[in-house]
Amino acid sequence: MRRYFPLMATFAVLIVLFGTASAMYDRFFTARVVANLFSDNAFLGITAIGMTFVILSGGIDLSVGAVLAFTMTFVASMVTEHSWHPVPAISLALALGVALGGGMGFLIQRYDLPPFLVTLGGMFFARGMAFLVSAESITIDHEFYTALQDIKIVVGPKAWLKAVALVFLSLLFGAVSLAHWTPFGRNIYALGGNESSARLMGLPVARTKIQVYALNGFCSALAGVVATIYMGSGNPAMGVGLELDAIACVVIGGTLLTGGVGYVAGTLGGVLIFGTIQSALIFDGRLNSWWLRIAIGVLLLIFILMQRQLSRMSAPTKN
Amino acid sequence: MNDPLAKLKRWFTGGGLLWPLLGLAALLAYDFAFVDGFFRLEVRDGHLYGTLIDILNQGSKTMLLALGMTLVIATGGVDLSVGSLMAIAGAIAAALVTQSEMSLALIVPIALCATAALGVFNGALVSVAGIQPIVATLILMVAGRGIAMLITGGQIVTFEHAGFVYIGNGHFMGLPFTLTIVALALGGTSLLMRKTACGLFVEAAGDNETASRFSGLPTRWVKLSVYAFSGLCAGLAGLIAASNIKAADSSRVGEMMELDAIFAVVVGGTALTGGRFNLLGSIVGALLIQTLTTTMITQGVPPAVAPVPKAIVIVAVCLLQSERFRNEVSGWFGKRRATA
Amino acid sequence: MKQDDPFSTKSAFGGLTLAGLMALAVGCGGGSDAPTPSSSGDGSASTPSGSSLTVGFAQVGAESSWRTAETESIKAEAEKRGVNLKFSDAQGKQENQLKAVNGFIAQGVDAIILAPVVETGWEQVLKEAKDAEIPVVLVDRGLKVSDDSLYATLIASDFVAEGRMAGEWLAEKSGGKASIIELQGTPGAAPAIDRKKGFEEAIKAHEGMKIIASQSGDFRRSGGKEVTEALLKVHGDKVTAIYAHNDDMALGAIQAIEEAGKKPGTDILVVSIDGVKGAFEAMVKGTLNCSVECSPLLGPLAFDAVEKAVAGETLPKKTIVDDQVYDQSKAAEAIDSRKY
Amino acid sequence: MSEPLLQMRGIRKVFPGVVALDDVDLTLRAGEVHALMGENGAGKSTLIKVLTGVYRADGGETSLAGAVINPGSTLEAEAAGISTVYQEVNLVGSLSIAENILLGRQPRRFGVIRWGETRRLAKRALARLGLELDVDAQLDSCSMAIQQMVAIARALDVKARVLILDEPTSSLDDQETAALFKIMRQLRDEGLAIVFVTHFLDQVYEISDRITVLRNGALVGEYETAELPRLELIGKMLGRKPEIVDHAAADGDDGGESAEELLAASGVGRKGSVRPLDLTIRKGEVVGLGGLLGSGRTETARMLFGIEPPDSGSLRIGGETRRLGNPRKAIASGLAFCSEDRKGEGIIPHLSVRENLILALQASRGPIRLLPRAEQEELCAHYIKALNIKTPDAETPISNLSGGNQQKALLARWLALQPKLIILDEPTRGIDVGAKAEIEKLVRSLREKGMAVLFISSELEEVVHTCDRVAVLRDRRKVGELTGSEITEQRIMQLVAHHE
């Protein structure tokens, strides 16, 4: 039970935060705000899920925002400018995401390069390619997209989960299962926990490492696809700095950057904490640009410290 | 007779200086061949004038950031807040220059103290509160820009203060004054690191923190100090940036420069995992980035695709540093060194 | 072993929570002097009286002085009219802006003013606003949506026209002969794309006018300076004019020209867009030749539109703000009227 | 005995610049415990890594049950029936016991791990070793002994025919070792061939049937254990006649009572770690901390050194009351501490021997007053010679040294400070016989110089002939103290075992 304490700490922080905001702002405590949290943060959440796996394996990936932008632009360009049907365009985009992620994983694994730098290269590369595909944002106008955008599950008065939120939640479910129920998931934990041990235990370390980055490439590309559904457009300048937000969500969710320790479900908590802080500040609406930045920083600080304190209290005491 | 040569070789390869220098040399060779007038130097208004001088001058900010970042990375950390700290230093200096009668001898220290103090805040989050460096410094990265904008009221504050403008635009002995600053900072830091035990403390604490603590090293103070030092360097870079354009552009200055600085440090041979560091290597790394940027501007690479060459250089330099890759390449050419 | 001191940890937790709440409270209090949020009741029913309106304003960010001037204009107007303004700064990110608009809808504001980051990607969120019967007034740039009825009106400048005006002015001034360096804005940004387009249209008619280099200065003063510096070295005396997508970059370029030992405004013509105060000062000094005004003072127009829209009146789909060309001859008399 | 199960013939392995193995043979029979002996650097680990597929041999041949095998990975070796438990338990601390046993071969259905079945299998694997544990517990929270057992359970869980145990007992106490031996015998009787690598001679004679000795990457010979006297074995390992260890040293002077009191702890304890205890250490005295692993020995040492400072009682050093809240204060009061975890808490791996050596001294001088380079080098030269540290030069990274030499360099780090009291926690663990004898000798010579030593070791024999006085701990509580001629293995065992 104690192993789940950091996870509970994250959700306790979330509840405190949400409760405070509800007490301070009218109409905050509504199903609509909650549903919005899932829709508006869907693609951030998806990149954060991919990032969780990378961080669990002891790595990091800075390319997610740029890969998202590339995917968006690619899909939009194919559909609008080259009249492809969205399905093949999306499939190809996802495959490209996997290929780019896998390629970075290959470089990191085979040549023992620092992930920070390789993925930094990947970030510049994907961003450049996004602009190469189209320097301007492109509207996607296709009945397939309209159909996707019309999918809604009503969860309350004036509140519904949209397709993007459903993709996010299904991926979350899949990711939790992947992490917990499959050998691949457990190998990631082992790899991040102790790489040399994992190697000596005969686990497929090299393959797992490459697969983790490929998986994250897939998640980033999927996030890009979800963003096209969310916005109905492709924008090559999208997602600048998204990688840092994703990393922050993962860490707030209780996953250690050193690898091997953490939960995908915690990342959900991290994303929701992040989203709730933003929502609360929007509801407040009285801060000017600079106070807004300071407030985000201060709130991040407070909730990171709180999460840290809670999980410290619950950390297994070694004898 | 072979010994000094071997020593030199060890200094280059062992310190990791060889590959960034090679990368820089390759880039300069390209410029020499394909960019007209890249190496042209002339004397104008009593100082040197040319693209190479620009690279040194524009690169001074990254070099200073890399200097501070080197020590932070040597302790196993990273500082994402340097760009925002640059903005704060610039904002404070601009505000004081325009709104007070204070002398520059007071203004500069005030601005630097402020960023150093914020560096201490970063350090405290990392060493006392035990927050992971990326996240700890992310806080000031976000909030710091807000503080800078608060100081300038969100405006670009311009000034014409001759003394302050000299910092980023003046010339000293025919070269940009910023180079004097970088040289002093590099020299001072090197001396501090190698002629006192500070360097040993930083490397030991970064390589094995527990063992260092058990040996009586004040590891918390070491961490606190390197972040403070990084803040100081960022402040200096911020003053140069503001002085250079005679304005404090608090919302934009230093954006993404933290990544350039980290890249410079790692290319320069300091591992992100901490331990041994190489100050000179970081400087070379910073020059490599600036040369690349300037090359792309002069070569007319469309700005939208400019990130692609940058990506290629990053990955190429990384690969060059990988022993396995080098072995494979020499294998392709059938010249594999005999290992037996 | 586990019962260290339950009380102290508990109180530590309590303290943190309290600190969190206080920070929220302090943050809000320190933010601005707006009145406390009126609990806007059911909010769905609009109150056309105008005095107790709650309006959400989704701003791009605070990346330039032009942008802050726009924000100030809207805030001032809101205060004047007693409107309860909810302000949100997206820090240049569309995703944040979408969240803000969704948040405003959830909150049940009476109207939304939106200054979109990019032109696409708004269809979904505008549909939701329409479903909730909340009128949306667009300011400073248009949108690409399939259905015009998704927003009430657009109050903006025509970026293409601005670029064209700048190009035409330069053609006239230079007698149709110029070698031009273009300083682009941030790659992908709507003003950068349109201002480039407009300018190119205008000079196409003149065979003697050629853009010899076009690089991004990222809308930054420092970017403008760095790019100009590098390009002047390569193209040397060939350059006769510089066209910058905004004033900040032009002001940076002017410094670079001066440092190259030339006279900006005389040796090299400098044309830019926006018409911020700094540009007027430069024109008075003679270093900047021309700035096409792009007025950020949209507050009065925006709130006129908001009030009409809330009252149910139909508005023209587009209100183009008159942009004027200011050159050195007109600058001196206009400078005193510049607020930003 | 039956015919050979596994044969390695003429194995050769070369690393750039070093011949690690040259024409080495190893023959294993089913149903035997085969000790692989040699000093550090003899090539034991390399041979094992070749056998288990971590390295590929550059020459020679390995055959298992008549068929030639050439495993390219640990996985292939395991599939062939060769399993290994490494010296530093190579498991993943952040995962549960059950996972560690079954990682890589979890029972699944449609690719989905069946956790219930996983737990059941893990329990069964542990039951085979006579262990009943909470298999959901995180491995990190278990003692080293348990971790070792888990590693063995994992190794056996594949249908192993050859089990390699690399230094399995180095972190186990006597009882745990006995339990391990029981399991080893049981497995041997089941027909497994067990390769046993260790530095403990006693254990070799207790458990092994045959011995293969390596030295400097070459085969010295293969012997029946019963036919090889101890001294001869040591001679073969060292390549020389071993010094006869001076067993009488500790009995020499019993009159330590009159010496000046250096450290006096009264009622010092820490909640959740060590019960309040009294302990006095005098100048020129070697005080042992006896007891089983986990009895509170290490915790006491760490408490005295201020790593986990005491929360009750008072501490007097040199007659003055001191509060040692952190290692720095302890060092300032004249204490020094060599951790049992050489890799994690001792060496600074990428720094040179010189930098490692001067670190504590430099720390005490502060960051500004750097010890002049000449003095640094003099100091290094002195200790490299005095402690016989084998290193190419002082600028070599310390991680390139063998374990024993790293340990000596760490001792030098503290001696350079000239402390009044040095706490040595398992200073001889996992290092070769030669270095071990040297360190024991060094401890005795420190005493003669008037330094006090607090000595912790799992080897009773070592404690008995090194210490003047022994404080015995049990269950994190001091249960007695022995002086002079009272110090015998027998008496210590009695104190540890008996409930009073």
pLDDT for C221 beyond 80: yes
pLDDT for B339 beyond 80: no
User: Roughly what angle, to the nearest 10 degrees, separates helices C6-31 and A5-24?
Assistant: 40
Mean pLDDT is lowest, of A135-144, B37-46, D93-102, for: B37-46
Cross-chain Cβ contact C227/B45 below 8 Å: no
- D: neighbours with 3+ CB pairs under 8 Å? A, B, C
What pLDDT score was predicted for residue B211?
94
Q: How far apart are CA B85 and CA B140, in angstroms?
A: 8
CA distance B61 to chain C (A): 12
What pLDDT score was predicted for residue A2?
63
DSSP H/E element including C242: strand C241-244
The reply to whether D271 touches chain C by the CB within 8 Å rule is yes
CB atoms within 10 A of CB A94: 20
What band does B113 get if pLDDT is binned at 50, 70 and 90? Answer: very high
Query: Which positions 175-214 of B are in contact with D (Cβ < 8 Å)?
Result: 195-198, 200-201, 203-204, 207-208, 210-214
In this structure, what DSSP letter does residue D400 have? G
Minimum CA–CA partner of B155 in chain A: A290
Residue in D474, D153, D122 with CA at minimum distance from that of residue D291: D474
3-state secondary structure of A317: coil
Residue in C251, C259, C172 with CA at minimum distance from that of residue C208: C172
What pLDDT score was predicted for residue C103?
94
CA distance A159 to chain B (A): 32
Kind of pairing, strands C290-293 and C325-327? antiparallel
CB atoms within 10 A of CB D184: 20
pLDDT for B218 beyond 90: yes
What band does A102 get if pLDDT is binned at 50, 70 and 90? Answer: very high
The reply to whether D272 touches chain C by the CB within 8 Å rule is yes
Label residue B146 exposed, middle or buried (CB < 10 Å: 0-12, 13-18, 19+).
Answer: buried
Domains observed in chain D: 4-238 (3.40.50.300), 249-497 (3.40.50.300)
Residue pLDDT, tens place only, B245-254: 999 988 889 8
DSSP H/E element including D338: strand D335-338
Share of chain C above pLDDT 70, in %: 85
What pLDDT score was predicted for residue A135?
87
Output the furthest CA–CA distance in chain C (Å, rounded). 88
pLDDT for B33 beyond 70: yes
Selecting from A231, A239, A279 the residue whose C-beta is nearest the C-beta of C124 gives A231
Residue pLDDT, tens place only, C283-299: 999 999 999 988 888 99
Task: Report chain D's C-alpha Rg in angstroms.
Answer: 24
Cross-chain Cβ contact A317/D272 below 8 Å: yes
CA D79 to chain centre: 30
Kind of pairing, strands B156-158 and B247-249? antiparallel
What pLDDT score was predicted for residue C1?
37
What pLDDT score was predicted for residue D204?
87
The phi and psi torsions of B130 (rounded to 5 degrees) equal: 70, 30
pLDDT for D211 beyond 80: yes
In this structure, what DSSP letter does residue C264 have? B
pLDDT for D58 beyond 70: yes
pLDDT for C144 beyond 90: no
Across D373-402, average pLDDT: 89
D180, D156 contact by CB (below 8 A): no
CA distance B128 to chain C (A): 16
pLDDT for D363 beyond 60: yes
What pLDDT score was predicted for residue D257?
52
What pLDDT score was predicted for residue A1?
54
Across C37-53, average pLDDT: 46
What pLDDT score was predicted for residue B43?
85
Across C149-170, average pLDDT: 92
Across D464-490, average pLDDT: 84
What pLDDT score was predicted for residue C7?
37
Across D384-397, average pLDDT: 88
What pLDDT score was predicted for residue D70?
87
3-state secondary structure of A68: helix
User: Tokens 């923190």 identify what position?
Assistant: B209
What pLDDT score was predicted for residue C320?
87
Residue pLDDT, tens place only, D162-171: 999 988 876 6
Residue pLDDT, tens place only, C258-277: 988 899 999 999 999 998 88
Residue pLDDT, tens place only, C125-140: 999 999 999 999 999 8
Q: Which of D271, D308, D476 best probes binding to C when mutated, by most C CB atoms within 10 angstroms?
A: D271
Q: How far apart are CA B87 and CA B146, in angstroms?
A: 9
CA distance A99 to chain B (A): 16
What band does D180 get if pLDDT is binned at 50, 70 and 90? Answer: confident
Residue pLDDT, tens place only, A147-185: 999 998 998 888 889 999 999 999 999 999 999 999 999
User: Tokens 């183009």 identify what position?
Assistant: C320
Q: Which residues lie below 8 Å from residue B193, measured CB to CB, with a gap of 6+?
A: B71, B199, B202, B279
What band does C29 get if pLDDT is binned at 50, 70 and 90? Answer: very low
> Which numeric CATH code is attached to C159-294?
3.40.50.2300
- Using a CB-CB distance cutoff of 8 angstroms, which residues of chain B are in contact with residue A310? none
Two structure tokens written together for A41: 């943060």
D36, D212 contact by CB (below 8 A): yes
What band does D157 get if pLDDT is binned at 50, 70 and 90? Answer: confident
- C: neighbours with 3+ CB pairs under 8 Å? A, B, D
Q: Which residues lie below 8 Å from residue A259, measured CB to CB, with a gap of 6+?
A: A55, A56, A57, A58, A59, A191, A192, A193
Measured at the alpha carbon of residue A49, what is the angle toward residues A45 and A53, in degrees to the nearest 5? 160
Kind of pairing, strands D469-474 and D286-290? parallel
pLDDT for C41 beyond 70: no
Cross-chain Cβ contact A297/B142 below 8 Å: yes
Measured at the alpha carbon of residue A85, what is the angle toward residues A80 and A89, in degrees to the nearest 5? 80
pLDDT for D209 beyond 90: yes
What band does D17 get if pLDDT is binned at 50, 70 and 90? Answer: low
CA distance B330 to chain A (A): 15
Q: What is the mean pLDDT of chain B?
A: 88
Share of chain B above pLDDT 90, in %: 56
What band does D421 get if pLDDT is binned at 50, 70 and 90? Answer: very high
Q: How far apart are CA B50 and CA B46, in angstroms?
A: 13
What band does C231 get if pLDDT is binned at 50, 70 and 90? Answer: very high
Across C210-226, average pLDDT: 92
pLDDT for D240 beyond 90: no
CA dist list (Å): C164 to C103, C167, C244 = 38, 5, 13
pLDDT for C47 beyond 70: no
CA distance A166 to chain D (A): 23
- Per CATH, C54-157+296-322 and C159-294 having the same topology is answered yes
What pLDDT score was predicted for residue D85?
86
What pLDDT score was predicted for residue C48?
44
- A: neighbours with 3+ CB pairs under 8 Å? B, C, D
- Using a CB-CB distance cutoff of 8 angstroms, which residues of chain D are in contact with residue B214? 305, 307, 327, 337, 339, 345-346
Residue pLDDT, tens place only, D281-322: 998 899 998 876 667 888 899 999 999 888 888 888 888 888
Residue pLDDT, tens place only, B65-91: 999 999 999 999 999 999 999 999 999
Q: Which fold has domain B43-299+306-314?
A: ABC transporter involved in vitamin B12 uptake, BtuC (1.10.3470)
pLDDT for C23 beyond 50: no
3-state secondary structure of D314: strand
Q: Where is pLDDT greater, at D156 or D193?
A: D193
CA dist list (Å): D376 to D336, D357, D398 = 19, 9, 16
What pLDDT score was predicted for residue B70?
96
User: So where are chain C's domains?
Assistant: 54-157+296-322, 159-294
Across C39-50, average pLDDT: 40
Residue pLDDT, tens place only, C65-108: 888 889 999 999 999 999 999 999 998 889 999 999 999 999 99
User: So where are chain B's domains?
Assistant: 43-299+306-314
Q: Which CATH class is domain C54-157+296-322?
A: alpha beta
C199, C164 contact by CB (below 8 A): yes
Residue pLDDT, tens place only, A7-26: 888 899 899 999 999 999 98
What band does C15 get if pLDDT is binned at 50, 70 and 90? Answer: very low
The reply to whether B307 touches chain C by the CB within 8 Å rule is no
D449, D418 contact by CB (below 8 A): no
Cross-chain Cβ contact C146/A294 below 8 Å: no
What band does D75 get if pLDDT is binned at 50, 70 and 90? Answer: confident
What pLDDT score was predicted for residue A21?
94
